[in-house]
Structure 1
């Protein structure tokens, strides 16, 4: 049973890694973002999307902890 769980976990991780690799390889068009007069260097679309995903994964839990401490539901 333990071996089957490990095999399933390895397969799931492999599928996720392959999906991420395909996403990065398919989104290599260069873009530059501009926001309130601030502009970025030209980078692939996948860099901006990956950065925003990571930023959201950090900000979400931090806001959850802050609101839980204040008692806001």
Structure 2
């Protein structure tokens, strides 16, 4: 069973890599992005898109973890306050 799971994960990773490679090869048109007056050098359109994807994949879980920790702190503080009040 473990080998089947590994095979499925390996196939998924290979499929994902093939899709990314296909995307990069199909999007070779040069673009130059401008943000707040700063102009990036011309690069294939796939580069900024994949960069944005990776940035989103990194920032999303960090924000989710921050929200989870904040919720846990609120629950602990509420429980502590209830214990002090004798409830």
TM-score scaled by structure 2?
A: 0.71
CA RMSD of aligned residues (A): 1.7
2:30 counterpart residue number = 30
- Runs ≥4 in structure 1, deviation > 6 angstroms? none
Unaligned 5+ runs, structure 2: 75-87
In structure 2, relative to structure 1, the CA distance for the partners of 1:22 and 1:65 (3 Å cut) is same
Task: Give the number of the structure with larger relative contact order, counting CA–CA contacts within 8 Å between residues 6 or more apart.
Answer: 1
Q: d(CA) in 1 for partners of 2:18 and 2:58?
A: 23
Q: d(CA) in 1 for partners of 2:42 and 2:49?
A: 14
1:44 counterpart residue number = 44
Q: d(CA) in 2 for partners of 1:21 and 1:7?
A: 21
Q: d(CA) in 2 for partners of 1:60 and 1:52?
A: 12
How many residues are aligned here?
72
Higher helix share: 2
Unaligned 5+ runs, structure 1: none
TM-score scaled by structure 1?
A: 0.83
Shift of residue 15, structure 1, vs aligned partner = 0.8
* 1:1-73 alignment, distance < 5 Å: 1-71=1-71
